[in-house]
Amino acid sequence: VTKIGVLTSGGDAPGMNAAIRAVVRTGLYHNMEVFGIMRGYQGMIDDDIVPMHSRSVANIIQRGGTILKTARSKDFFEPEGRKRAYENLKKHGIDGLVIIGGDGSFRGAQKFSNEFDIPCIGLPGTIDKDIAGSDFTIGFDTAVNTAIEAIDKIRDTADAHDRLFIIEVMGRDAGYIALHSGIATGAEHILIPETKTDLELVVDSLEEKERRKKLVNMIVVAEGDETGGGNEVAAIIKKRLPHLDTRVCILGHIQRGGSPTCLDRLIASRLGYAAVDSLIEGKHNTMIGIMNNKLHYTPLDKAVKAKQRISDEWMKIVKILAS
């Protein structure tokens, strides 16, 4: 492998820039030529491919978003689109790819590398932390810290007015942002897709706490919870406990942006460096993650969205600490 391409694809996540920087500089260190592919797979199809130099990635380690931009590419689902992408890579002489994205992007990479002889290395970049084969994903730590900062602020006003806030955080299939931010902010209840949500039990517990004169300020709910999310939870609580001043706050896209945390920058740097090493070693169609603080290699077709079991211990801790 002498010429490599790097791209970011699917949902953006803070820390992607740090990963791009690591891929580019490690590649250059090994005397490779490195190309940046714009807007994910669409840039491969449109030949939006630019040579990267050490200075191309200066001053980006601290920036959210992705300088290569990201996109969802309909054309890449089609064989003709992937063929065009391959011809463009060949034109530039690119013989290895690093894909920073989520499980959808890995499915695309898997298909592409089955059809054409281009080794692909995937790095998990998603705020949801929902990929099998990695304890961390690039962007999760930043997203959860952004959520904490916002929830702390909501708590101040909730407390001042004795209000109950239902706070919806991101996580369509995985409840990790809700679980971690909820524990870290002392939420009363945390409602996530991985566990059954019984709103009657939530209502009972709120009533019981009211009898004890415990002030309840916050319930954190993942957007993908079976209840349907913040608005749906609030509607039921308002109906069952009309005397409470219940409000909803949907944190939304602020969770995707912002300067990456130290942890995300470290993970991104380590994984970006490892991606180039792996291409040199001849690995292909592999996602690199981190498990138990060690690099962990998963075949791309196994790097799927994983509904991980949330340990009963965490759920018990949530309950005890909010009592």
Least Å distance, CB 176 to ligand ADP, is: 15
Q: Between 10 and 119, whose beta carbon lies closer to ligand ADP?
A: 10
Least Å distance, CB 77 to ligand ADP, is: 5
Does the annotation flag 187 for ligand binding? Answer: yes
Distance CA 269, CA 128 (A): 19
Least Å distance, CB 10 to ligand ADP, is: 2
Report the interface residues with ligand ADP, using CB under 6 A.
9-11, 41, 72-73, 76-77, 101-105, 107-108, 111, 126
Does the annotation flag 254 for ligand binding? Answer: yes
R_g of the chain computed on alpha carbons = 22
Does the annotation flag 128 for ligand binding? Answer: yes
Q: Active-site residue 128, yes or no?
A: yes
Q: Are the C-beta atoms of residues 303 and 122 closer than 8 Å to each other?
A: yes
> Count of CB atoms within 10 A of residue 198's CB?
12
Q: Between 108 and 175, whose beta carbon lies closer to ligand ADP?
A: 108
12, 128, 141, 225: the active-site residue? 128
Least Å distance, CB 5 to ligand ADP, is: 15
CA atoms within 13 A on the CB side of 293: 1
Return the H-helix or E-strand segment holding 170. none
Does the annotation flag 96 for ligand binding? Answer: no
Does the annotation flag 39 for ligand binding? Answer: no
Residue for token pair 């009657």: 200
Per-residue b/e over 261-273, b at no fewer than 16 CB within 10 Å? bebbbbbbbbbbb
Q: Between 73 and 181, whose beta carbon lies closer to ligand ADP?
A: 73
- The CA-based dihedral angle spanning residues 269, 270, 273, 278, taken in that order and rounded to the nearest 10 degrees: -150
Residues marked active site are found at 128
Task: Enumerate the known binding-site residues for ATP.
Answer: 11, 72-73, 102-105
The binding site for Mg(2+) comprises 103
